[in-house]
Each structure stands twice: as C-alpha cells, then as structure tokens.
Structure 1
C-alpha cells in the first residue's frame, strides 16, 4: 500500500444561483448523485450557518464529502475524502460540478497517508475557466489592443 486515501478539494466560482434556493433539496440532490456513484450513505446533515452559508456533510463507508455553499457569493467549496488507494474522487465531483455549473473551478488532489513512496509531495492543482468566460476575456483583450493601436496612430 502506497497511500491510504485520496482527497480532493474543489472551489467553484460564479455558480448557478438557483442551486442555493432550498438547502434540503440541495442535500437530497447531492445524496442522489452519490448513490448513483454506488456510494452507500451512512448519514447526512445540512445546516444553515450563522454567516448565511449552507453546510452539508455526507458520511459513507468509503469516506466523506462536505459542501459549503455561499449563495451571496455564488461560491461553493467542497471536498471529498475517499479511503481507498485507487479511488477517483474527481469522478464523484463531476456530477456535483454539473449541478452548480460554475464559471471557474480550482481543484486540488491530495494523496493522504503517503508513507514515503512518492517523491513528489506537492498537491496537484488544476484550474478550469468556463469557455464563455474565456471568450469574454479574450474579446476584451482584443478590443483594448485595437483601441491602443488607434490611440497610437493619433
């Protein structure tokens, strides 16, 4: 055994606002998604926290998932801890990402309980920007470039 678990953290920015309307519906939707991934849920809990964010915790035989949803910020922070060496927590989050439809995500994958078999202890981090956002940003850059070119001619 080289590791005992895989841990993924996901930050989702500019999420679809309708996801935050009903805390219990959100919890049930996430539960259903996990059950479709063949994860047997032992317990689940949701709570509206004092700073008006939703906290959801799901415990299952293979590990846990936590989701913190901040409706005012359109931001969701989530993590999954799967107690299997060959687990694929990123597959579990693919359906959760589809639910929130973020414009940008930042994902960090950690190998937990690495007892020295790996030479690289740095977490792997991926950032993904939704295509529409990229188009908008590129369009803005082109417009600014053309504007600067016209200003330089005068």
Structure 2
C-alpha cells in the first residue's frame, strides 16, 4: 500500500506558562499554522481546563491538527496529520514553534499507510535467554560439585 499521509507528533518542552494557558493565543497560533501550511480548515474546537491547560483541535480537509497543553509543566503535545501532497505539516510545526517558543522539542515522523515489507508485518517475538543460561550454569555447578566429591 502506498503512503497516504504524513503524521507528525511533536513534544514541546520549556514553553511559557501564559502562552500555553491562553486559548485565544493558541487558537491564533493554530489558525496561522493552518494557513501557512496550505491546509483547509473545516472546523475548530477547543476546551479550557481549570485550573489550567487546554485542548484545541483543528479539523482539516486534509485531516487534523491538535494541541494539548500542560502549562504547569511547560509542555505541549502537538499532533499534525495530513493526507495528500499539497499541505506541509512540517511548516505547520515550524509556525507553532515560533509561537510557543519551546526550549526543546522531540518530533516523530510517521508515514501513514506504509506497511513496509512483508517481513515488517510479521509479529516480532522476543525470547529471553537469561533463564536458559541460569539453568545451564546451575547444571554445570552441580556436575562440578559432584565430581569433586569422589
């Protein structure tokens, strides 16, 4: 199957408390990011938590963009998923960074719809050899001890 979309998840650390707790500021940042990234806004929804924090969602023709803020931690979790080739989720993230001014970020790029090779789809089974090694070592010690008894 071909890649149907780009999905960026971004952890932003060290953001300003007031910026993360201001719904109008975050809404303006998101709407600017939507415009700059060549995306089409269908709807915008948000909720302000008490005593602090907010969640905002931009429903896009291309998919969605969301932000969950934790002002007390200086942290924002950003999610940008777009389908098609005309939108630029990386540009949207760059715009959000200029607004929120994080000290540090961690970005994960996900190719949606990309299953990789058939080998990648097989379940991964992890086997721990530590218990087997303990049994082998114990057996060796018993044999050694018995051979000294004679």
- The TM-score with structure 2 as length reference comes to 0.69
1:68 alignment counterpart: 68
Aligned equivalents of 1:96, 1:70: Cα separation in 2: 16
Equivalent pairs, count: 121
Aligned equivalents of 1:31, 1:119: Cα separation in 2: 41
Pair 119,112 (structure 1): closer, same or farther in 2 beyond 3 Å: farther
Matched, 1:30 2:24: no
| Contact 1:5/1:82 (8 A) holds in 2 | yes
1:105 alignment counterpart: 105
Structure 1 gap segments, 5+ residues each: 122-154
Larger radius of gyration: 2
Moved over 6 A (4+): 118-121
Structure 2 gap segments, 5+ residues each: 122-150
Pair 70,114 (structure 1): closer, same or farther in 2 beyond 3 Å: same
Pair 69,19 (structure 1): closer, same or farther in 2 beyond 3 Å: same
- The TM-score with structure 1 as length reference comes to 0.68
